[in-house]
Amino acid sequence: MGCFGSRMDSRRKAMDDDWTGCEYAFAIGGIATLDGCSPLDKIVAKYAGGEGKELSEKLTLEDAKLAEDKAKELGEKIFTAIKALHEKFKGDKDSDDKVKGKYTGKEAFAQIDAAAKLWCEKSGLEHKMEEEATAAAPEGMEGMMEMMAEGDMMEGGMDDMMAAAADAPAAAKRETPEISAFGEIAGPGEIPKLLTAMMVCYPAFGDAVKVQVVGYELGGDGDESFAEVAAITGAYVNAGEKADGESFGAAWLGAEDLEELETAFKAKDTSALIFPGVVTAWADKDTAVGNAGEASGKTQVIFKFAGKVMKPCGDKAVVFCRQFAKIKDLKDEDGKKVCELEDFAEAAFATVKEYTDKFEELAKAAAAAAEAAAAAGDMAMEPMMEEAPMEPAMMEAEAM
């Protein structure tokens, strides 16, 4: 257990500075015991109130929409986190050097900036980034500037601006869907879809959310500023997972991640993979590989998923949340590893209570079986002890 915990800690800490593997990062669960297979990501469970609490006690979606009062409450926390992320990457906005091992500084900031602006324009909460809020009109021109702004919006100027934001540079080779593919995303009620679109179309923003989700899943308890985003998008995607069919994701795994995967494969009859948070996957393997970018000193692994997915933006990209999978095969192919998965549907519980009840039932059954086996072993030993012949030395001693 100590070795496992140590490896888990190392995997978590590695993602602080390297995001190349976080998109398809996984944890290990138990097939027979359902260990680790709670329906809630650990960061979401904490947001919900802790062990045994249901997310529905704190957050519900009606027809995939967020109530306006809840949108205002959570929206303030979300915007605070977005602004902090924006400020964190702003210093590298003109840099061609790599940040987080995955993007150039320019790419990362362009995506996060576009996500922030999309939030401000579409959330319906009247948020503005600092540079927008402090941009003043020339003295005496305030009214005219407002009229011009209104005219531009009426003539579709704002739509052009958002289209430009949607086309902001993404990570190398990444072919993300257009924002328009998600349909209507404006207004407080559409925040679940808006946040999902931000994560899919601007992967640097999605990675910033995912690294927190995975951090908690791998035993951490650090930054949780995007817990509300994880909870809202998770609820939205889980409710929309209706489509069957295979999908693909390509990840770059470091030595310890790869060792964890290979260990799980060797124990594939007892170990399952857990993919926490919202995951973006692709319709075919080539697109998945193209979207993976490049990484040095790592092994590329192509995951072939088989669980249910949501299609919020057409057929190009699909999303799913907290998928449980059994490993069907892990093999070398064209210089890469290919991990073929099968859906572990038995681990999908609708509520925390359903999962907890089943987990405890299995634990009690396992304990009872262990006690019965131990008792049977003791009973089998008794006649053996009675019938066992005496050693020669003992027999000679008795004769004397």
pLDDT at 145: 41
pLDDT at 3: 54
DSSP string, 271-323: EEEEEEEEEEEESSHHHHHHTT---SS-EEEEEEE-S-BB-BTBSSEEEEEEE
Closest Cα to residue 366, out of 143, 121, 33?
33
The least confident of 159-173, 199-213, 267-281, 326-340 is 159-173
Rounded-to-integer distance, Cα 212 and Cα 14, Å: 13
Rounded-to-integer distance, Cα 99 and Cα 106, Å: 9
Q: What does the chain come to in residues?
A: 400
3-36 pLDDT, tens per residue?
556 888 999 999 989 999 899 999 999 999 999 9
Name the average pLDDT for the chain. Answer: 87
Residue 382 binned pLDDT confidence (cut-offs 50, 70, 90): low
